Homo-oligomer: A and B are copies of this chain.
Amino acid sequence: MQQGYTLAELAAELGLELAEETDSSKRIYGVNTLEDAGPDELSFLANPKYAPQLDTTKAGAVIVEAKQAGRVKNALIAENPYLAFAKVLVLFSKPQGEFSGQSPLAYIHPDAELEADVTVYPFVFIGPRTVIKSGSCIFPGCYIGEDCRIESNCRIYPNAVLMSGTKLGKGTIIQPGAVLGSDGFGFVPGEAGIEKIPQIGSVTIGDNVEIGSNTTIDRAALGETIIGHSSKLDNLVQIGHNVHIGRFCLLAGQSGISGSTRLGDKVILAGQAGLSGHLKVGNRAVIGPQSGLTRNVKDGEVLGGSPSMPKNEFLRSSVLIPRLPELYSRIRKLEKALEALTVGKGNDSFS
């Protein structure tokens, strides 16, 4: 990457067309926004509202749709500039960390089984009978308890915690400080006031999942808490015990799911959404920001508000909430008018 890429190389790599008069030997060393890009950097135009920036950008080249190609000196033409740019980012991205090997400053239990090319940074603890497969990388301060299983090419960032028996599928990413497999919130009234129900289940995470920073996923009371393949959880998300999340779900920051709730595939939770326990949420359902879900949800339903209601109802009713004082005074006015009328009519009847 230090040598960058020529525009010709980038066009070939990404299957893009070079615009006329573009200097195909121009060398690109980085990527940036139209506003901030410099002459050695590549940028892109996806949102037409930023089109005026094409006239002022200092970017060395820009990925654009064909119709904008004439507006900049050097352009790569793409049908979908945003998607093309996402692929450029892969070329210019650099993985976190530069460590390799297994640090003598880590504690690896003799009964753990790590394949040869697993990276273990200093200050990592790995418990007995844990298996870590090829290409996975464990950053400093991580705790991997006993009987865990981490498939190939996982990245576990600093200070993440996997309690005993946690399983991660291939290529899964755990952002810093996430906690998997801590005890669920299970208590019963007992002789001594509140007694803890032992949480003897575990957490199982599919392939290509991403878990955000400081997100917490509780182990099941019994059985498994499950996050399905390719689902992505943002930061500070809370997943209660025995929750099952399907595949390709997206859970935004600070959303939370109470115990035993089940999500289908491709479900979206917006930021700070909260789901009660023991619910079923169908495939492709969408729960809006700060929405509070208290009922089951069918496939494809889109909900908002707290308690949740269909999004259309939410939009139509929420604009009326600020008008409640007005509605209230109109009702009073009606009541007075009606009273006057009734009195008037009463008088009439005397005539």
Which residues of A come within 8 Å of B, CB atoms?
Answer: 31-33, 36, 82-83, 86, 89-90, 92-94, 96-98, 103, 105, 107, 121-123, 125, 127-128, 139-141, 143, 145-146, 157-159, 161, 163-164, 173, 175-177, 179, 182-183, 185, 187-188, 190, 192-200, 208, 210, 212-214, 216, 218, 221-223, 230, 232, 234-236, 238, 240, 247-248, 250, 252-254, 256, 258, 271-272, 274, 276, 289-290, 292, 294, 305-307, 309-310, 313-314, 316-318, 320-325, 327-328, 330-331, 334-335, 337-338, 341-342, 344-345, 348
| B140 A125 Cβ-Cβ under 8 A | yes
Closest beta carbon of chain B to A250's beta carbon, Å: 7
Bound form: Cα–Cα A344–B306 in Å: 44
| B140 A187 Cβ-Cβ under 8 A | no
| B96 A163 Cβ-Cβ under 8 A | yes
Closest beta carbon of chain B to A184's beta carbon, Å: 9
| B306 A317 Cβ-Cβ under 8 A | no
Closest beta carbon of chain B to A168's beta carbon, Å: 16
- A199 partner residues in chain B, CB cutoff 8 A: 93
Of all chain B residues, the one with the shortest Cβ separation from A274 is: B272
| A223 B33 Cβ-Cβ under 8 A | yes
Bound form: Cα–Cα A276–B122 in Å: 38
| B323 A317 Cβ-Cβ under 8 A | yes
Bound form: Cα–Cα A122–B126 in Å: 11
| B338 A335 Cβ-Cβ under 8 A | no
Please name 7 pairs of A and B residues whose Cβ atoms are closer than 8 Å in the assembled complex, sorted by A: A123-B125, A141-B159, A177-B177, A185-B253, A272-B292, A320-B328, A338-B341
Closest beta carbon of chain B to A29's beta carbon, Å: 13
Copy tally for this chain in the complex stands at 3
New A-B pairs, 5, CB < 8 Å, besides A157-B182, A238-B271, A274-B290: A83-B190, A97-B146, A123-B141, A193-B248, A316-B325
| B331 A327 Cβ-Cβ under 8 A | yes
| B318 A32 Cβ-Cβ under 8 A | no
- A318 partner residues in chain B, CB cutoff 8 A: 307
Listed from nearest, the 5 A-B pairs whose CB atoms lie closest are A93-B198, A143-B158, A125-B140, A216-B235, A179-B213
Of all chain B residues, the one with the shortest Cβ separation from A250 is: B187
Of all chain B residues, the one with the shortest Cβ separation from A31 is: B222
- A327 partner residues in chain B, CB cutoff 8 A: 327-328, 331
| B161 A143 Cβ-Cβ under 8 A | no
